[in-house]
Amino acid sequence: MFEVRNEGGIAVLELRHGKANAIDVEFCKALKKEFRRLAKSDARAVVITSRGKIFSAGVDLLRAAEGGRSYLRSIVLAIDELYEEIFFHPKPVIAAINGHAIAGGCVLACCADYRVLAKDAGRMGVTELLVGLPFPPFAFEVLRATTSPIHFPKFTATGETFDTEGALERGFADEVVSAGQLMARAMEKAAQLAAIRPEAFAANKLHTRAPVKQFLRNDRSGLKKKIMKVWTAPETAKNIRAYVARTFKKS
């Protein structure tokens, strides 16, 4: 599902879960477990990237459609737990976005502390509403906390995806470099953040992102109940299949 290598004290985590790095329950659990391991390891920072032309296409919709209500419930829980693990990871996390980062894949990138995007390598955006699905609670708060407050209400309500300039403007990425410079720049940024005293970085990061925990603590169970009702509704699988059919037809 992924490969991890140590480069000068920085863990480089390369996603290798099929052609599109589609997110399923097993992928979420494995990646969550790896980030927990990395938190206790000697690695001073983490760079997450992927091989090929797709960083991550988001939730494996075909698997979700065929899995039924039980699987749909499981993927909502698993994906939120994965995002929470990465979002609050105590060490610097850099996303080297080498290609398309769509829906859950876009949120995955936004969990990082800093995001470097390869110019013209792909599109970014959150398309959940086009499938007829609301954002899982933590995914929504990740986007609120890390993207442009001006554009946040608009892109979360339209499902639109964006090219390099649009992604940068909306805060999906912090900077853009050529594809050939992507990993070098991501490693440079990782080393820069890793040079900060670890205890200070971790405390500051937790403080900065504390409002997300507080917001969800206030009404997470209520939000999750409403969202889960939509995800596990009888017509959801039908809606997913229709979206996949439309998307494949366009491509």
C-alpha pair distances (Å), 82 with each of 76, 107, 247: 10, 11, 26
Residues 29 and 17: their CA atoms lie apart, in Å, by: 13
DSSP-derived secondary structure for 8-68: TTEEEEEE-STTTT-B-HHHHHHHHHHHHHHHHSS-SEEEEEESSSEEE--B-HHHHHHHH
Q: What is the mean pLDDT of residues 118-129?
A: 96
The per-residue pLDDT for range 60-71, each reduced to its tens digit, is 999 998 998 899
Question: Structural domain tally of the chain?
Answer: 1
203-226 pLDDT, tens digit per residue, is: 999 999 999 988 777 776 777 788
Residue 56 lies in a domain: yes
Structural domain contains residue 154: yes
State the Cα torsion 215-218-222-223 to the nearest 10°: 0
Task: Tell me if 80 is assigned to some domain.
Answer: yes
More confident residue, 139 or 221: 139
- Note whether 68 and 237 are within 8 A (CB): yes
| Cα–Cα distance, 46 to 119 (Å, whole number) | 22
Q: In which domain, by residue range, is 135 found?
A: 2-194
Count of Cβ atoms closer than 10 Å to residue 52 Cβ: 14
Whether residue 11 has pLDDT greater than 90? yes
Task: Count CB atoms within 10 A of the CB of residue 26.
Answer: 13
Q: Which CATH number belongs to the domain containing residue 145 in this structure?
A: 3.90.226.10
Is residue 201, in this structure, part of any structural domain at all? no
Residue 99 lies in a domain: yes
Residue 179 lies in a domain: yes
pLDDT at 249: 67
Q: By the 8 A CB rule, do 68 and 25 touch?
A: no
At residue 251 the predicted structure's pLDDT band, cuts being 50, 70 and 90, is: low
Angstrom distance (rounded) from CA 233 to CA 74: 14
Q: What is the pLDDT of residue 215?
A: 79
Three-state DSSP string of 186-229 = HHHHHHHHHCCCHHHHHHHHHHHHHHHHHHHHHHHHHHHHHHHH
Residue 232 lies in a domain: no
169, containing H or E segment: helix 164-169
pLDDT at residue 53 is higher than 70: yes
Residue 65 lies in a domain: yes
Instruction: Please report the pLDDT score of residue 61 as a whole number.
Output: 93
First to last CA, the chain: 26
Please, are residues 163 and 154 in contact by the beta-carbon 8 Å criterion?
Answer: no
Average pLDDT, the chain: 94
